[in-house]
Amino acid sequence: MGLLDREFNESNIVIAKTEDLFNWARLSSIWQLSFGLACCAIEMMATSASHYDFDRFGVIPRPSPRQADAIIISGTVTLKMATRIKRLYEQMPDPKYIISMGSCSNCGGPYWEHGYHVLKGIDRVIPVDVYVPGCPPRPEALLEGLLKLQDKIRHETLRKKTA
Amino acid sequence: MTSEEIYNILQTKFGDKILGFESELPVESYIVADPMAIKDICLYLRNDENLKFDTLMCLSGVDDANGEKSKDEEDMDVITGGTLSVYYNLDSIELGHKINLKVSTPREDPKVESVESVWKCADWHEREVFDMFGTVFLNHPDLRRILMPEDWEAGYPLRKDYKNPEFYQGMKIPY
C-alpha cells in the first residue's frame, strides 16, 4: 500500500483489493473516544501529547462516541462506571475497536480480591481487541498496543469481523 | 487552647451531653459527645469567641466491631450489637488550635444529628459515611448514596460484616 502516492501521480488508477483499501483507511485514522478513567489516563494523555505523539498513527481524541472508532479503557472500571462504558460502547458505530489499558481494566488489578466496587476486567462487559499490561503501562507500551491493533485491522476481512 | 481546656469548657456548658475525654492514647485525644446533641455542640464550638472552630477538616465513620461476633450458615461474619462511630476533626484557622470529637451510635439504629447546617462541607462527608456505614444523619438536606450506585442493595461496604454480592446488574463481581 506504500505505493499509493506514486500510483496517483503516474496514472490516476489504483488497483487494490477492497478489503486492503478499507483496512488501510481504517487502521490509519483510528479516532479514539476521548475518555479516561484513572492513573492510566494520565499515561494515555502523555501518549497523545507531543513527546510520544499518538497523532502520527492517526489517533486523535474525539469527544463523541458517534464519531469514534476506538475506545481505550484507561483505568479502574467501577461497577457504576461499567454500566456507562457499556452504553458508550453501544453508541459507537461499527467498526469499533477496544484497547484495554492497564491491569485494572484487564483483570481488576490491585482490586482483584477486596475491591467490592471494581469490575474484574472490562471483558466481562464489552469485547476487547488488545490488552496492554502494566500498572500503568508506559506510553511505549500503549503505542505497542496500538500497533498490535493496527496489525489486527490489517488482516480483517469484509466477511467476518476479527478485530 | 488545649483539648483538655476545651473539654472543660464544653462540660460546664453542656453537662451530661459530653460523655467523656480520651487522652491516654498513642494518637490525638478526643472528646466523646451525645449524637443527638452534636449539632448544638458544634454550633457553639464554631460561634464562641474563644473557640472559633471555623473549619471541619474531616468527618469520618468507623465500624467499631465491638458487638457479638457469630457466623451465619455460609460461614460469614455477623456482628450484632456494638457501635458505629463518627469522628469530627475540627480546626480553628484564626486561633490555631484543633480538637477531635467522637459520637457513638448503636449498630442496629445508627442515628446522628447532621452538622451540615454548621459547616457546609459536612454535606458530602456525611453522605459518604451514610454510603459506607449506613449511619443516618438526621436533618441532612439530601442524604443519598454518593459513591456506590444508587440502586446498590447489598448494604454498606465498609461495615466489618459486609458481604459482597455475586452479581450487580448482570455483571459478576468476584474475581
- Residue (of B79, B39, B55) closest to B161 by Cα position: B79
Strand residue runs (E) in A21-152: 31-33, 60-62, 70-74, 97-101, 130-132
Inter-chain CB proximity B171 and A112 less than 8 Å: no
Please say whether the beta carbons of B106 and B83 come within 8 A. yes
- Residue (of A6, A51, A57, A9) closest to A29 by Cα position: A57
Please say whether the beta carbons of B83 and B109 come within 8 A. no
**How far apart are the CA of A54 and the nearest CA of chain B, in angstroms?**
33
Which candidate in A78, A80, A86, A114 is best for mutational testing of the B interface (most B CBs within 10 A)? A80
Inter-chain CB proximity A120 and B164 less than 8 Å: no
Inter-chain CB proximity A79 and B168 less than 8 Å: yes
**Phi, psi dihedral angles at A146 (to 5 degrees):** -65, -40
Distance, in Å, from the CA atom of B8 to the CA atom of B116, rounded to the nearest integer, reads 25
Residue A39 is predicted with a pLDDT of: 92
Distance, in Å, from the CA atom of A102 to the CA atom of A99, rounded to the nearest integer, reads 10
Please say whether the beta carbons of B37 and B19 come within 8 A. no
Distance, in Å, from the CA atom of A113 to the CA atom of A93, rounded to the nearest integer, reads 35
CA angle B138, B143, B147 (to 5 degrees): 140
The three-class DSSP label of residue B15 is: helix
Residue written as grid cell 464489552: A126
pLDDT in tens, chain A (163 residues): 555 556 566 666 777 888 888 899 999 999 999 889 999 999 999 999 999 999 999 999 999 999 999 999 999 999 999 999 999 999 999 889 999 999 999 999 999 988 899 999 999 999 999 999 999 999 999 999 999 999 999 888 887 766 5
Interfacial B residues in 148-167 facing A (CB < 8 Å):
148-149, 157, 162, 164
Per residue in A62-87, pLDDT tens? 999 999 999 999 999 999 999 999 99
> Is there a cis peptide before residue A139, judged by omega within 30 degrees of 0?
no
Whether the model pTM is above 0.80: yes
Q: What are the cell numbers at A3?
A: 505505493
Q: Which domains does chain B have, with CATH numbers?
A: 3-172 (3.30.460.80)
Q: For residue A5, with 0-12 CB atoms within 10 Å meaning exposed, 13-18 middle and 19 or more buried, which class applies? A: exposed
Instruction: Compare all CA atoms of chain B with the CA of A110 and give the residue at the minimum distance.
Output: B175
- Residue (of A121, A124, A125, A142) closest to A133 by Cα position: A142
Question: Rounded to the nearest 10 degrees, how much is the dihedral formed by the CA atoms of B133, B134, B140, B141?
Answer: 110
Q: What are the cell numbers at B120?
A: 457546609
Which residues lie below 8 Å from residue A44, measured CB to CB, with a gap of 6+? A36, A72, A74, A101, A142
Residue A5 is predicted with a pLDDT of: 58
Inter-chain CB proximity B147 and A117 less than 8 Å: yes
Inter-chain CB proximity A113 and B175 less than 8 Å: yes
Please count the residue pairs, one from chain A and one from chain B, whose beta carbons lie less than 8 angstroms apart: 30
Percent of chain A with pLDDT over 70: 91
**How far apart are the CA of B164 and the nearest CA of chain A, in angstroms?**
6
- Look up the ipTM and state it: 0.78
Instruction: Compare all CA atoms of chain B with the CA of A121 and give the residue at the minimum distance.
Output: B175
Q: What are the cell numbers at A144?
A: 505497542
Per residue in B21-78, pLDDT tens? 988 889 889 999 999 999 999 999 999 999 999 999 999 999 998 888 888 877 788 8
Inter-chain CB proximity B171 and A119 less than 8 Å: yes
- Is some CB atom of chain B closer than 8 A to the CB atom of A82? yes
